[in-house]
Amino acid sequence: MITISLIKADIGSFPGHTRAPQKLIDKCKEYLEEVKGQLIVDYYVTRCGDDIQLLMTHTKGVDNEEIHALAWSVFERAANIAIEDKLYGAGQDLLADAFSGNIRGLGPGCAEMEFEEREAESIIAFMCDKTDPAAFNLPLFKIFADPFNTPGLVIDKKLTQGFVFEVHDLMAGKKISLKTPEEMYELLALIGNRDRYAIKRIYRKDGLLAAVVSTEKLSLIAGEYVGKDDPVALVRCQGGLPAVGEVLEPFAFPQLVAGWMRGSHWGPLMPVSEKDANPSRFDGPPRVIALGFQLRHGKLLGPVDMFADVAFDRARALANEIADYIRMHGPFQPHRLSEEQMEYTTLPHVLEKLSSRFAPIE
Ligand code: 13P
Ligand code: 13P
Ligand code: MG
Ligand code: MG
C-alpha cells in the first residue's frame, strides 16, 4: 500500500499575500531530501500564491504521526526563516505552539489517501489560493456525478456503478455519505450550500477511494480570521475512474468562490499554471493549479502543469471579465460575503462599535 500526503500551509509571503518566496520552497525541499528514501519515498514541493505545498509519498498510512510531525517541522523551520526575513504573515498558518500528534487542527491543510497502486496510477493534485474547501464542491460533483461533464459515467462500464460522496458539515463537525446517481438531489441540497458543507472524500461504489480534499477551516480552529483555508485536493484518474480530461473539465468554468480580498469576497476561480499562481488584483482573483503525476512504486513521475495550456485561456479571460463585473459592487453583497460568513472575519469587531447605538424602530 502507498500513501500520498498533500500537506500545505501559508508560512509567509511577499509582498503581502502574493507569493511564497523560492527560498522557502528550496528550504522545504532540502528538509524533505534529508528523509527521502527513509521516512518518505518521494516528494514534490511547490506553491500556489502564498501557500506552500508538500506532496509526499510513503508507506505509513494516513494520519501518521511521523509524517505529520515531519510536515510540521519542515513548515516550522521554514517559518523561522520567514520570520527572520520579515515576510508577510510569517508563520500565518501554524496556529499551534507545538506539534501534537496530528497536523489536522493545528492550522495546515491536509489531503491524504492510502491505496494499492494500480497498474497505471494517474493522479492530479489541485491546489488553491484565496478560497476555501467548499470551492471543490462544484467541480468534484461534476467530475464524479455529472454525465454532461464525464461521459465515462455513461459509456465506461466501470464507472456506471456510480460514486459515494462523504460530505462534512464543517460547522457541526458531522459527516454523511450520499450515493450518486440515486441521491444526487440530496447531495446537491447539501453541497450547494458552500457556507457549511464540503466534500471530503469520494469513493467508487466498489470502495475504491477516488478523491480527497483538505477541509480544515482556519477560522474555526483559530476562532477568528487568520487568512483563508486555501484548500488542496487529490484526484485519481483513468482506468475505471474519470479520465484526466474529465477531471480538468469543470475548471474551464471559472465558478464564483468565497475568499479573495481579506477572505471576504466572492470571486471567480481562475485556473492558472504554477508560475502564474500569483494573486495580485484585489489579492486575487482566487487561483487553482493542477499538477499531474504518475506513480511508480510511490515514486512521482511529473509534474505536468495541467492548466499551463492554451485550452484554459478562455476560462482565464472569462474569469477576468467576471472580476471586472463583480468588483463594481465594491463593499456590497453579493460581492462581499454574507453576514453569517463574515462572522468569521473582522466584521464582528466593526459591528461591536455600533451595537449600543441601535434603537428599536417604532
Ligand atoms: P481508460 O479507460 O484507460 O481510463 O481510458 C479512457 C480514456 O482515455 C478516455 O479519454
Ligand atoms: P491568504 O489566506 O492567502 O493568506 O490571504 C489572506 C488575505 O487576507 C488576502 O487578502
Ligand atoms: Mg497569506
Ligand atoms: Mg493563501
- Position 255 scores a pLDDT of 98
Q: What is the mean pLDDT of the chain?
A: 96
Cα 332 to ligand 1 centre (Å): 45
User: Does pLDDT of 5 surpass 90?
Assistant: yes
- The residue out of 89, 116, 143 marking a domain boundary is 116
Instruction: Kindly state the average pLDDT of the residues 271-287.
Output: 98
In a domain, 345, yes or no: no
User: Coil, helix or strand for 12?
Assistant: coil
Domain of 99, CATH number, reads: 3.30.70
Cα 106 to ligand 4 centre (Å): 16
- Which residues, listed in sequence order, are joined to residue 295 by a DSSP beta bridge? 121, 300
Are residues 69 and 9 both part of a single domain? yes
Instruction: Kindly state the average pLDDT of the residues 76-94.
Output: 96
Are residues 61 and 149 both part of a single domain? no
Which of 8, 47, 228 is the pocket-test mutation for ligand 2 (most atoms within 8 Å of CB)? 228
Name the more confident of 357 and 349: 357
Are residues 105 and 125 both part of a single domain? no
pTM: 0.97
Are residues 153 and 285 both part of a single domain? yes
Cα 12 to ligand 4 centre (Å): 9
User: Coil, helix or strand for 114?
Assistant: strand
- Position 278 scores a pLDDT of 98
In a domain, 52, yes or no: yes
- Position 200 scores a pLDDT of 98
Are residues 46 and 174 both part of a single domain? no
Domain that holds residue 275: 120-337
Parallel, antiparallel or unpaired: strands 197-204 and 232-237: unpaired
- Position 151 scores a pLDDT of 98
In a domain, 314, yes or no: yes
User: Does pLDDT of 78 surpass 90?
Assistant: yes
Cα 17 to Cα 279: distance, rounded to the nearest angstrom: 8
Residue 21 confidence class, pLDDT cut points 50, 70, 90: very high
- Position 30 scores a pLDDT of 98
Residue 348 confidence class, pLDDT cut points 50, 70, 90: confident
- Cβ of 228 closer than 6 Å to ligand 2, yes or no, is yes
Query: If phi over 0 gives left and psi between -120 and 50 gives alpha, with beta otherwise, what is residue 154?
Result: alpha
User: Does pLDDT of 341 surpass 90?
Assistant: no
Residue 218 confidence class, pLDDT cut points 50, 70, 90: confident
- The residue out of 61, 93, 116 marking a domain boundary is 116
Are residues 157 and 253 both part of a single domain? yes
- How many domains does the structure of the chain reveal? 2
Return all residues near 336 (Cβ < 8 A) that are at least 6 apart: 264, 265, 266, 329, 342
Instruction: Kindly state the average pLDDT of the residues 235-258.
Output: 98
In a domain, 358, yes or no: no
Are residues 132 and 229 both part of a single domain? yes
Are residues 131 and 110 both part of a single domain? no
Instruction: Kindly state the average pLDDT of the residues 312-316.
Output: 98
Per-residue pLDDT tens digits for 153-186: 999 999 999 999 999 999 999 999 999 999 999 9
User: Does pLDDT of 343 surpass 80?
Assistant: no
- Cβ of 8 closer than 6 Å to ligand 2, yes or no, is no
Are residues 153 and 10 both part of a single domain? no
User: Please, are residues 267 and 323 in contact by the beta-carbon 8 Å criterion?
Assistant: yes
In a domain, 91, yes or no: yes
The H or E element that residue 26 is part of is helix 22-35
User: Does pLDDT of 353 surpass 80?
Assistant: yes
Ligand sitting nearest the alpha carbon of 53: 4
Percent with pLDDT over 90 in the chain: 91
Instruction: Kindly state the average pLDDT of the residues 33-61.
Output: 98
In a domain, 360, yes or no: no
First-to-final CA distance of the chain? 69
User: Please, are residues 136 and 231 in contact by the beta-carbon 8 Å criterion?
Assistant: yes
Per-residue pLDDT tens digits for 292-310: 999 999 999 999 999 999 9
Instruction: Kindly state the average pLDDT of the residues 130-136.
Output: 97
- Position 347 scores a pLDDT of 83
Instruction: Kindly state the average pLDDT of the residues 105-124.
Output: 97
Cα 138 to ligand 1 centre (Å): 23
- Cβ of 129 closer than 6 Å to ligand 2, yes or no, is yes
User: Does pLDDT of 286 surpass 90?
Assistant: yes
Q: Catalogue the active-site residues.
A: 10, 225, 228
- Position 228 scores a pLDDT of 82
In a domain, 140, yes or no: yes
- Position 222 scores a pLDDT of 83
User: Does pLDDT of 327 surpass 80?
Assistant: yes
Residue 328 confidence class, pLDDT cut points 50, 70, 90: very high
Are residues 103 and 250 both part of a single domain? no
Are residues 125 and 105 both part of a single domain? no
Are residues 248 and 265 both part of a single domain? yes
Closest C-alpha residue for ligand 1 atom 7:
243
Instruction: Kindly state the average pLDDT of the residues 275-285.
Output: 98
DSSP class of residue 219 equals H
- The residue out of 62, 81, 116 marking a domain boundary is 116
In a domain, 351, yes or no: no
Residue 76 to residues 42, 79, 108, 246, Cα–Cα distance (Å): 20, 5, 11, 37
User: Does pLDDT of 132 surpass 90?
Assistant: yes
User: Does pLDDT of 344 surpass 80?
Assistant: no
